[in-house]
Amino acid sequence: MDRCSLVRTLVNRYCAGEEDWVDSRTVYVGHREPPPGAEAYIPQRYPDNRIVSAKYTFWNFIPKNLFEQFRRIANFYFLIIFLVQLIIDTPTSPVTSGLPLFFVITVTAIKQGYEDWLRHKADNAMNQCPVHFVQHGRLVRKQSRKLRVGDIVMVKEDETFPCDLIFLSSSRADGTCHVTTASLDGESSHKTHYAVQDTKGFHSEEDIDSLHATIECEQPQPDLYKFVGRINVYNDQNDPVVRSLGSENLLLRGATLKNTEKIFGVAIYTGMETKMALNYQSKSQKRSAVEKSMNVFLVVYLCILISKALINTTLKYVWQSEPSRDEPWYNRKTEAERQRNLFLRAFTDFLAFMVLFNYIIPVSMYVTVELQKFLGSYFLTWDEDMFDEEMGEGPLVNTSDLNEELGQVEYVFTDKTGTLTENNMEFKECCVEGHVCVPHAVCNGQVLPDASAIDMIDASPGASGREREELFFRALCLCHTIQVKDDDEVDGPQKSPDSGKRSAYISSSPDEVALVEGIQRFGFTYLRLKDNYMELLNRDNDVERFELLEILSFDSVRRRMSVIVKSATGEIYLFCKGADSSIFPRVTEGKVDQIQSRVERNAVEGLRTLCVAYKTLIPEEYEGIRELLQDAKVALQDRDKKLAEAYEQIETDLVLLGATAVEDRLQEKAADTIEALQKAGIKVWVLTGDKMETAAATCYACKLFRRNTQLLEVTTKRLEEQSLHDVLFELSKTVLRSSASLTRDNFSGLSADMQDYGLIIDGAALSLIMKPREDGSSSNYRELFLDICRNCSAVLCCRMAPLQKAQIVKLIKLSKEHPITLAIGDGANDVSMILEAHVGIGVIGKEGRQAARNSDYAIPKFKHLKKMLLVHGHFYYIRISELVQYFFYKNVCFIFPQFLYQFFCGFSQQTLYDTAYLTLYNISFTSLPILLYSLMEQHVAMDTLKRDPALYRDIAKNALLRWRAFIYWTLLGLFNALVFFFGAYFMFENTTVTSNGQVFGNWTFGTLVFTVMVLTVTLKLALDTHYWTWVNHFVIWGSLLFYIVFSLLWGGVIWPFLSYQRMYYVFIQMLSSGPAWLAIVLLVTVSLLPDVLKKVLCRQLWPSATERVQTRNQCLSVEQPTVFMLSQTSSSLTF
């Protein structure tokens, strides 16, 4: 390496602020320097192997936690108010703001501190676990945190890999090992990893210590399934042997070694640079519609607060402008105070009024909402109806911040395979050279298990056809990535290749297992992969051995995979298996028309089809392919792109052999769930990578499309005949003409008097719609496409790549209506749309748990989505919307009398309530009843919500937190405040009310207003409660009792030592007055009356669907006892 490149490398390594500046890293295996003249040795500086998942340290916990908490607007606002109370002379004690703020901050800090302490504890346990290093030819035991990049590590069976390792050698002769990655992605199946070809023979510590090699690889990336690198192994020769490294050579931290005695590996990523640690990073924060509404309402109330302070400040100086109305004689200002700047005095008074009225912003609401969401999420996980006995799992809640969003969903985007279907594949038939072969034939109602082929198109195949048929079965036996293991070696899910043998097929794809199992019935059995030779048993019970030369792996873009094998006779074959759209364009020979017609027929029946092709390679041709693949595999830059280009060149000029059909059964109650969602006003879209015919058949089966649904197509086939512009405008005219003539619901297309439309679009057509036009704009086509979609009851998107799924979700999410979207899927290809949607739900399926791990919620089966949305989502939204509105309502009731009181005290900033009442109103007196209500309220029975999905429409579009509802609650609070204040004022004006002739003082007046207010807001919540339990009774009546007991205690009646000067005996004196009791009963009744009348009138004149159901249920509950009594009476009169 020349001097310039050495300097550049050093600068990048030590000075770069971001690792992205360096494209790759070089790791020296065992810290051995490369041979002289090979390359310059640069000392490595990488992090040690300590894992730090904790957020705080002992020293920075207090400042860092306080900084994070005061970033919340409400907390920061109350901190400012508290500081103002400390700095200037304000009417209320700093305790009134400081104590609630201190309570909120302390509770949150304790919770976060405890969680972080648990993380520290877990980190220490992980960092101190013992690891076996290879040093100087022997094993040394050290703590995991001392491991460095380049160290050679030995891991034994059932141990967890301490860092990310390149797999060098194994105790297995074939250089493989089996691992489980359950702690990383939840997959319990065994995965096979392969040692480097040139190092797999090093089985002892002395051998591995003599290894002289360097590894070049990419910088740390969070993607668990991608790795690019190469290893240079230095032997006695001058030129090193270069081997490519991929994800199959990488053993990840957190994975566990299984069914392998021991392995040796070299550390390449340690500590916080391991892929597991990089995946600690949280996903982007999603905010619910309720939270956004809550923040808007806070801003409104902040404006009201500022307006109140400005009005009072202005009126104070207007009122004091007359000499006779200057400060009262007992509160005269000194001359120095009078000489103060007018603006400064006004500003000080403005701040004082802000402090006086600041309780209109409820600081405790945030804590109550967080508690409600956290505790409420347990009701979902405890739901026994959503527990799947077969899997032994129930729903999971990965985030409780979006509970209420489950009640606001307008669009559901669902995957097909594994979500709507079971992903439990069963081999149905295969078509070879135009001849249909089924595993079991039925003749006269009798199953013929020995029947291997039934000709359904033309005559039985001749000799050449028989050869092609056997070649087809060999292709299926060889073109896969299945591992065969003994039953006693396998912990996870398994399928036996032969009932008489103790062995199992394991694969990441259920399709592959179904195909290999299916062809056993035709006499071909895949046995094993041993020493790079694939063995199979043919019809004559002879073992055939094929050398595995290359694997061209499957990917979702190519939608096919290939293997290159060499037979015992020296013939080299390329076998290719994939989707028909990927195979047919590359075929130059074979009975394409006959096979294609069979594929289309199977697709219409809802079967999953794959096509199989092959070509024969001559040795020279294979050598060219091998070099092409080798160059692509060892590339560090754009390796995936170069491999894809190489695959495109190789997989051409194929001979079509046949096709297979596999059935993926529809999940239990999938059709019922989709029908219920549509009745609830939710539009359901299916996004799948399958072909159009297969997906459409599934959509009909699950009732997404109905027999009277008119299908509109925007597909590649149609775009070959018409331009995209013409197709979209034609479809737009069709649907808009229908919508113009019929009144159509914007949510669902299930009305009987209207034409039902369903749209089918494929990935290629979607790319054209999303592609920017030549004039630089793409919005026209997108808007036209959205208009068509809005008028369709269901949409099917087929041939979708994972990224296109996310694009579809984003397109709808950002449309002008801004609907709430939900995405549900079970595979890694669904993660992008799950992360993109407002709510992401993972199905705990057979394609691994990547979807469940990246989702907001996870459920065992698609059918559980019905109860999750229609019942739990409905309850969550009803409860939290009432909580938010009620908090603002009770604070308007609380603070508006204080505003009115200023007109009667010369705007002197005198408080109406005692300091204790100011402090405890939101913390103690009124907080627990609304918390219990928001956890347990059921305004309609669960069974009713499941039986009548249309009730979901009543809460759609954030109905309970719209401006109309918000204004009603605010006006109700203002009305109640007026009744509290003026009712008490006029009732006791110029009236003696005690036995000794004393009149009520200002503290007694304020206590009366406060008592009426606490009773009113608590009873208002009791009137709103539909679902009563002993807990509700205990909390509601208990909170009122607590208020009375506290007032007696605070007034010195129960505890004489608390003879607080201004409140001493105030409460008991108030209750000793008859007019006070009358005032309390009368004012509470008058305050609650308008709300009761409004509810009665609305139920009678303009009832919602929910209110009609409530009325019907109440009638039934009254009728049932009556019928029971009548039946008892009649039976007693019967002789």
Percent of residues in the chain assigned helix, strand, coil, to nearest 5: 50, 20, 30
- Averaging pLDDT over each range in 20-29, 734-743, 1114-1123, which range is the top one? 20-29
Number of Cβ atoms within 10 Å of the Cβ of 858: 26
Beta-carbon contacts of residue 965 (< 8 Å; ≥ 6 apart): 885, 959
pLDDT tens by residue, 289-336: 888 888 888 888 888 888 988 998 888 888 777 766 666 655 566 666
pLDDT tens by residue, 955-992: 888 888 889 989 999 999 999 999 999 988 887 765 55
Least confident of 3-17, 627-641, 847-861: 3-17
Q: Say if residue 10's pLDDT is above 70.
A: no
d(CA 67, CA 1017): 35
Percent of the chain clearing pLDDT 90 (strictly above): 14
pLDDT-based confidence at residue 281 (cuts at 50, 70, 90): very low
Contact 872, 379 (CB under 8 A): yes
Tell me the whole-structure pTM to 2 decimals.
0.71
Which pLDDT score, from 0 to 100, does residue 739 have?
62
Least confident of 83-87, 536-540, 652-656, 1012-1016: 83-87
What stretches of 822-940 show up as alpha helix (H) in DSSP?
831-836, 850-854, 864-867, 874-901, 915-920, 927-936
Least confident of 491-495, 704-708, 1057-1061: 491-495
Mean pLDDT on 907-936: 86
Least confident of 501-510, 566-575, 1013-1022, 1031-1040: 501-510
Which pLDDT score, from 0 to 100, does residue 155 have?
93
Active-site residue set: 415
pLDDT-based confidence at residue 115 (cuts at 50, 70, 90): confident
Q: Say if residue 1063's pLDDT is above 80.
A: no
Least confident of 213-217, 863-867, 1057-1061: 1057-1061
Half-sphere exposure of 957 (CA within 13 A, CB side): 10
Q: Distances in Å between the alpha carbon of 224 and those of 185, 220, 401, 757?
A: 9, 10, 27, 42
pLDDT-based confidence at residue 663 (cuts at 50, 70, 90): confident
Mean pLDDT on 609-621: 90
Q: Say if residue 587's pLDDT is above 80.
A: yes
Number of Cβ atoms within 10 Å of the Cβ of 569: 5
d(CA 929, CA 1038): 9
Q: Say if residue 713's pLDDT is above 50.
A: yes
pLDDT-based confidence at residue 755 (cuts at 50, 70, 90): low
More confident residue, 790 or 339: 790
Which pLDDT score, from 0 to 100, does residue 989 have?
67
Which pLDDT score, from 0 to 100, does residue 945 have?
87
Q: Say if residue 173's pLDDT is above 80.
A: no
Q: Cα angle vertex 852, ends 848, 853, to 5°? A: 95
Structure tokens at 842: 């993972």
Mean pLDDT on 372-392: 86
Q: Say if residue 270's pLDDT is above 70.
A: yes
More confident residue, 43 or 908: 908
Query: What SS3 state is found at 653?
Result: coil
Burial 657-672 (b: 16+ CB within 10 A, else e): bbbbbbbbebbebbbe
Percent of the chain clearing pLDDT 70 (strictly above): 82
Q: Say if residue 199's pLDDT is above 60.
A: yes
pLDDT-based confidence at residue 383 (cuts at 50, 70, 90): confident
pLDDT-based confidence at residue 16 (cuts at 50, 70, 90): very low
Nearest to 549 by CA among 563, 531, 569, 536: 563
Mean pLDDT on 848-864: 80
Query: What SS3 state is found at 891?
Result: helix
Q: Say if residue 461's pLDDT is above 70.
A: no
Q: Name the average pLDDT for the chain.
A: 79
Structure tokens at 49: 């192997």
Which pLDDT score, from 0 to 100, does residue 692 have?
76
Q: Say if residue 54's pLDDT is above 80.
A: no
Which pLDDT score, from 0 to 100, does residue 22 have?
52
Which pLDDT score, from 0 to 100, does residue 369 have?
86
Structure tokens at 935: 């956890």
d(CA 1022, CA 933): 9
DSSP codes of every residue in 677-742: HHHTT-EEEEE-SS-HHHHHHHHHHTTSS-TTPEEEEE-HHHHTTS-HHHHHHHHHHHHHHHHHHS
Residues in the chain: 1135
